[in-house]
Structure 1
Amino acid sequence: MDTRRRNNVTVVGRTDGPVLLLAHGFGCDQNMWRLVVPALAEDHRVVLFDYVGSGRSDPAAWDERRYSSLEGYARDVLEVCAELDLRDVTFVGHSVSAMVGVLAAARAPQRFARLVMVAPSPRYIDEGGYRGGFSEDDIDELLESLESNYLGWSAAMAPVIMGNADRPELGEELTTSFCATDPGMARVFARTTFLSDSREDLKSVTVPTLVVECEQDVIAPREVGAYVRDAIPGSRLVTLKATGHCPQLSAPQATAEAVIGFVGAAR
């Protein structure tokens, strides 16, 4: 199957510029990056795509077994890179995609030069001295609610995830994105996301890495950003003056500036 069609690959910006590969999170698609793309595309070649099961990807390519592991999503990333022969890539991953990027870079280090992790979380469940932000009961309840009534869960949870209650249009956009995802595919992606534990994988990161967090984020609290920074030697942590889990929508200028500044400094 043609990877470009399967993953709805889009390429914009300077054809001779440094490559930025933007990867969306759970319940989203490449459209979530639209507010940061114009600034990024001025001096970069920007590659966007949808994971299979999301956005305008080809639903015929869906394989529940493959996408029941973050490795399946990393394979999507690597196949997009191979199709376009991308090298010296700066991978910009939002939320769970930050960990997908870690896996992809470990599998094909020759293709990746830098990682930008936007609101990352290597594990959502608290364990021992680690604070992910949720108890096991929290996650069990979240998944049970999602699996029993996905549309209702989306309408209730999207505004909470987005934050910015004074800007309800942002929560409405995320709700629309969630609701546009096939419920069966979303359930698999949700379990893969919220039950994942990628803490050990952080040790494999050897490329320059930027961790971007928001001042307030119910999905990835500040302790998580500090944990990721400390787990990746030499990484940088930037805290945006923003709230919610999707700064590419709520604070696009600050998000774009963080990415551009990091790529420019690392070159």
Structure 2
Amino acid sequence: MSFASTEPKSSNQAKTWTWKGFPISYQTQGKTGPAVVLVHGFGASWGHWRKNIPILGETCRCYAIDLIGFGASAKPTPGVEIEYTFETWGQQVADFCREVVGTPAFLVGNSIGCLVTMQAAVDNPEIALGVASINFSLRLLHDRKLAQLPWYRRWGAPMMQRILANKLIGNLFFQQLAKPKVVRKILLQAYRRPEAVTDELIEIIMKPAFDVGAAEIFLAFTRYSSGPLPEDLLPKLACPAIILWGTEDPWEPFTLAQEFAKIPTVEKFIPLEGLGHCPQDEAPEIVNPILQVWIWQHTSG
């Protein structure tokens, strides 16, 4: 099987799917082969996979979805119209596989998108052919993680969460973050190849931040310290699983991530040397062939 192409081609216009009465944005490319669904991380959208969709679409039916609350998807009010949890997003992905994809799929996630795909596969094993996780969120601010720290290190995050729960303070905080210079600075921390932090990437991150409800969703997620941890979900997977990890990720330490290679359900743990938190965008020429080979191996029988 040949995987010769490495440069992305122009994408088609995004499509819309209605889920629970809300419009959901997604992109698709490729009409033959196994299905693969790409799930972005916090604050991102399907555009974060723009360098992967055309290449995977050469040999797969490739889909990339905007989770509800992000990208061009609807942003219903947290706690009123919808709960923003991994269970909610996992169900969204599972329903997408049933209603749009029409077949089980290989699920690929980045950051919190990894926990979404794991949750989807655990709760709906029939929709998942495999799960590939790229630098998943370790959820170091989770209640259970904080409880393991010495008492004098437990107060910072909960205190900040309480401060941001104040609507005025929270909105001011979000407004300060939602600026191109600030977003660029944050991305330059997350990426190890500064040339990958382009104006196009800044626009992809920035545009949804101006949508009505974006600030409320951001602040609601900063207070989300419960729900599943990756160590809860990975052992429950009933499908093949691989982990790819940028070794220079400043947010999700590689030294901690390596422990997940010991979980029996994980087929491979693949270090991506010198890359940061979003290797699929930072170095698609490395990530795309890994995903293509993995999908092919589990499709060819």
Classify the TM-score, shorter chain.
Answer: 0.7 to 0.9
Q: Show CA shifts across 1:143-162 (max 9, x none).
A: 55793411323516623542
RMSD: 3.1
The 1:96–1:265 alpha-carbon spacing in structure 2 relative to 1, beyond 3 Å, is same
Report Cα offsets for 1:107-137 as digits up to 9, x if no partner. 1111111000011134324849x89xxx655
What is the distance in 2 between the residues matched to 1:160 and 1:2?
Answer: 35
Higher Cα radius of gyration: 2
Quote the residue 1:226 is aligned against: 258
- 1:81 aligned to which of 97, 122, 131: 97
- 1:162 equivalent to 2:190? Answer yes
Post-superposition Cα deviations, 1:200-259, rounded to whole Å, max 9, x if no partner, equal: 222211211110100200121112321322234342111113422111221111111111
8 Å contact kept, 1:225–1:237: no
Superposition deviation, residue 82 in structure 1 = 2.1
Q: Verify: 1:11 aligned to 2:28, yes or no.
A: yes
Tell whether the 8 Å contact from 1:214 to 1:240 is kept in structure 2 after alignment: yes
Q: Deviations over 1:66-89 (max 9, x none)?
A: 333211111211221121253231
TM-score (normalised: structure 1): 0.83
Pairwise mapping of residues 86-165 of structure 1 onto structure 2 (< 5 A)?
86-125=102-141, 127=145, 136=154, 139-140=157-158, 147=170, 148-154=172-178, 155=182, 158-164=186-192
Gaps of 5+ in 1: none
Where does the alignment leave 5 or more consecutive residues of structure 2 unmatched? Answer: 1-16
Same amino acid, percent of matched pairs: 18
Post-superposition shift, 1:46?
0.5
Name the residue aligned to 1:68: 84
Q: Which amino acid aligns with 1:177?
A: I
Superposed displacement of residue 97, structure 1: 1.2
SS class of match (1:53)? coil
Tell me, in whole angstroms, the C-alpha distance in 2 between the residues paired with 1:175 and 1:227. 35
Give the Å deviation of 1:32: 0.4
In the TM superposition, residue 20 of structure 1 has moved relative to its aligned partner by 0.5
1:236 equivalent to 2:253? Answer: no
Structure 1 runs of 4+ off > 6 angstroms? Answer: none
Query: Is 1:177–2:205 an aligned residue pair?
Result: yes
Q: Which has the higher helix share?
A: 1
| Aligned counterparts of 2:194 and 2:73: Cα–Cα separation in 1 | 33
Tell me the TM-score normalized by structure 2.
Answer: 0.75
Q: Provide the aligned length of Structure 1 versus Structure 2.
A: 260
